[in-house]
Structure 1
Amino acid sequence: MSVPDDDQPTLYAEPGSSWWPVLWGPAFAAACVLFEVAFGGPVHWYLWALLAVGLGGLTAIWVNARRQICSVLLTSTELRQGRETLAVQRIAGVDEVGVSIGAPVLGGGWAVPKRFTGMTLRLDDGSTVIAWARDADALRSALRALVEERVEEEHGERERGERST
C-alpha cells in the first residue's frame, strides 16, 4: 500500500489483497511433482516449472490489480478508495441519510466490491456517495471521529469570531 504524499498518519487501511495467493500455482505444481515421484512415473520437471511460473505470474497480476482497485486508506485529510480520492473536509455526515438511487460508489466501480460493506457519506454539497470497507464499522467510526472533530473546530472558531466582534 502506498503512503500518502502529505505523510499524514494513517487512521484506517486495507490493502485490498494479500500476496499469499501467488503461492497457489507453485504449491500445486510442487504437489504434482511429489505425486509423480511417489508413483514412480516420469517426472515432467519442465512442465511443472512452467506451470508454477505461469500460474504464479498470472496470480501476481491479479493480486496487484486487487491491491490497486480494492485498497482503502483513510488519513486525517483524505479517504482513498481504489483509484478515487475524496478530501475528508468534503464529508458532512456518515450514515445519516439514506442512499439515493444512483448514488455513485467511491473507487470508480458500478457497485460495492464483493465481500465489502457499503456505507453512505453525505458530502458538503448535499449529495451522497457510497464508501466501502471490509471492516465497515472501523472505517465508519474513524470517519465519524474526523467529521465530529472538524465540526467542533468550526464551531469553536465561530464562537471565537463572535466574541471578538
Structure 2
Amino acid sequence: MSDVADGSGILFAEPGARWRAVSYGPGLCLIILFIEVVTASAVHWFALIFCAALIVGFVVLQVIAGRRHVSVELTDGLLREGTETLPLSAVAAVLPERDEDSWDEEDWESARALGELSGVPRRRSGIGLRLVDGSFVQAWAKDHRGLRAALTEALDRRRGTAGIDATEGIAESVDGADSVDGADGAEDPGGTDDRHSENGADR
C-alpha cells in the first residue's frame, strides 16, 4: 500500500520496507519464551536471545536495502525509483497497461527499468513511460495502478500549467502590439492636421 503525505509535496510514496519488520523475530522469540515459562518446561534463554539477535541483524540489513533500492517517491517535478531520479519534464506520456489478451509484447516491456537493479523488482509491476526523446523506460511499484494514476495526474497538471503560461504570453504579446498600434494611431491624426494646415497656409 502506498503512503501519501498530504501537504508535503509528495504525490505517491512506497517505502520499500518498513522498520516494524525488525520486531517480528524478537516477538516470535518472546512468544516461545512465554510458552516455555507457562508450561514449566526447560527455558532456552541463550538460544532464544541468540536467535532474536540474529534475526534482528538480518532483517535490519533487508530493511536498509529495501528502503534504498526499491522505494518509490513521486513529487510534482520528480519521480524517484530506488536511487535513480527522473524529472517529469523528461516524460512525454504514461503508456496504457498491457493487454492481457494480446500475444504481442509491448515495446516498453523490454525497456530498461528505472533504478540500479537489473529489472523490475520482485512483487512490483512495471509501468511503461515514453520519454521526450522517443525512448521507453519502465517505472514500477507494488501499487502500480496508484502510481500510474498519480503520474498521469502530475503530467496533466504540468501540461495544463504550461498551456496557461503560453496563453498568457500570447495575450501579453497581443496586448503589447495593440498598445503600440494605438499609440501610432493617436499620432497620425495630429500629423495629418499639421500637414493640412501647412498646405492651407501655403495656399
Query: Residue 189 of structure 2 corresponds to which residue in structure 1?
Result: none
Q: Quick one: which of 123, 128, 131 aligns to 1:120?
A: 128
RMSD: 2.3
Query: Residue 31 of structure 2 corresponds to which residue in structure 1?
Result: 31
For residues 156 and 41 of structure 1, the distance between their equivalents in structure 2, rounded to whole angstroms, comes to: 75
1:136 aligns with 2:154: no
What's the CA shift for 1:149?
2.1
Moved more, 7-16 or 112-121: 7-16
Moved more, 77-86 or 34-43: 34-43
> Which one-letter code corresponds to 2:141 in the other structure?
A
1:81 aligns with 2:90: no
> Which one-letter code corresponds to 1:75 in the other structure?
T
For residues 122 and 8 of structure 1, the distance between their equivalents in structure 2, rounded to whole angstroms, comes to: 27
What's the CA shift for 1:117?
1.6
Segments of structure 1 that go 5 or more residues without pairing to the other structure are 1-6
How many residues are treated as equivalent by the alignment? 159
For residues 119 and 15 of structure 2, the distance between their equivalents in structure 1, rounded to whole angstroms, comes to: 19
What's the CA shift for 1:73?
0.3
For residues 43 and 154 of structure 1, the distance between their equivalents in structure 2, rounded to whole angstroms, comes to: 69
**TM-score, normalising length from structure 1?**
0.83
For residues 37 and 24 of structure 2, the distance between their equivalents in structure 1, rounded to whole angstroms, comes to: 20
Q: Quick one: which of 92, 114, 119 aligns to 1:106?
A: 114
Moved more, 36-45 or 67-76: 36-45
> Which one-letter code corresponds to 1:113 in the other structure?
P
Matches within 5 A, 1:7-22: 9-22=9-22
Aligned partners of 2:109 and 2:138 also within 8 Å: no
1:87-110 superposed Cα distances (whole Å, 9 cap, x missing partner) = 111111001594346411011222
What's the CA shift for 1:12?
0.6
Q: Which has the higher helix share?
A: 2
Change (3 A) 1:121 1:112: same
SS at match of 1:114: coil
What's the CA shift for 1:156?
3.6
Query: Residue 68 of structure 2 corresponds to which residue in structure 1?
Result: 68
Q: Give % identity.
A: 35
**TM-score, normalising length from structure 2?**
0.69
1:155 aligns with 2:163: yes
Aligned partners of 1:8 and 1:75 also within 8 Å: no
> Which one-letter code corresponds to 1:134 in the other structure?
K
